[in-house]
Amino acid sequence: MRFRYSRPDPEILALLRTMERMRQVFDELVLRSGGDVEEALRWMRELQRRGFLPGDVDVSRFAETLEKGGVLRVERDRRRLTPRGARDLRRGAFDLVFRNLRGGPLGDHRTRATGEGGERRSETRPLRFGDSPSSIDGAGTLREALARGGIEDLSIAPGDFRVFETEHSASCATVLLLDVSHSMILYGEDRITPAKKVAMALAELVETRYPKDSLDCVLFGDEAKPVEVTDLPYVNAGPFHTNTRDGLRMARTILRRRRHPNRRIVMITDGKPSALTENGMIYRNPFGLDPHIVARTLHEAILCRRERIPITTFMIAEDPVLRDFVTEMTRANRGQAFFASPGDLGGAIFVDFLRNRRRRA
């Protein structure tokens, strides 16, 4: 069989690059519009009118291409995402976060702890009772026997056996708390979209690389409510206050049902706690740090600590007063706190997630 090679057609390559760029813009706008496909297409036409997108691309035909590809479907004269389209958004968010993670100055985050099971390392140690035969280092064992008796009296004694060290990855139950209060879109800065991207990327990571883990997502505004991973593209910030205590309480309830050896809460927020649920009523105070709300929120953090549930808080705000509150809550829980911009959020969370799910066996 003969193969004929030729130079790629520049026009086809240009068209492919244009369509890829259009898809990236479409995915971003769908997330910013809370999963509203028609709104995203309207924004694309407006961007095209202003010269930010190629004028020779028909947005309607682009949408039809996505329909044929199974990304969109038409329901009641409106285009909506299909399950495949939602999955593509998660994969795109995952690729974006990891591309930035590999390219950024975040360093090497391998664990120093070793144990049984998991990924094999180059280091070896003497055989211990209970070690798996599959972890025996044959070459290393032979070297020990030669060093002990020489080539003329070669025999392998129990003390000669060497086994490879391995990194141990323990299963982990994680609840991701996502702040959907009004401050996440206040002052013209969109903080909810980067947070949604991180949530979707984290869900994709758990599903593809750590299938024995569990990941639950909880939104908290005036009150807390769970959300399915498949519904994350449709999440929007609203005219809500920040009921941090209710979010922590729901996360603790979810984790109490999990049987994983490790349990943790990852919280993304940009605001102070300004609401509290007591006796079925929501108490709100958006002015300053309400001592009663703060006290009840800190108490919930302490309850998490008593149940050995660490809280890792990612704060995407610069207010010194809010940072002081997060620091105090972290101290009460004995957890961790990171202060990141929306653009750095993905890398920070993924480095922390991958580092903390490894433990010494």
Give the tens place of pLDDT for each residue, 164-197: 876 555 678 999 999 999 988 876 778 888 888 8
Q: Which tokens in the block code for residue 199?
A: 């949530």
Q: Is the pLDDT of residue 354 over 90?
A: no
Domain 172-356 has CATH 3.40.50.410: yes
Measured distance CA(236)–CA(108) in Å, rounded = 35
What average pLDDT does the structure give for the chain?
82
Between 55-64, 79-88, 107-116, 234-243, the lowest mean confidence (pLDDT) is in 107-116
Residues above pLDDT 90, as percent of the chain? 37
- pLDDT for 119: 57
Between 198 and 7, the higher pLDDT residue: 198
Between 198 and 100, the higher pLDDT residue: 198
3-state class of 350 per DSSP? helix
Q: Are the beta carbons of 247 and 224 closer than 8 angstroms?
A: yes
pLDDT band of 304, cuts 50, 70, 90: very high
- pLDDT for 310: 93
pLDDT band of 243, cuts 50, 70, 90: very high
Q: Is the pLDDT of residue 107 over 60?
A: no
Locate all alpha helices (DSSP H) within 33-132, ordered by sequence: 37-49, 59-68, 83-103
CA nearest 175: which of 305, 268, 266, 270?
Answer: 266
pTM of structure? 0.72
pLDDT band of 359, cuts 50, 70, 90: very low
Sign for the pseudo-dihedral over CA of 317, 343, 250, 326: negative
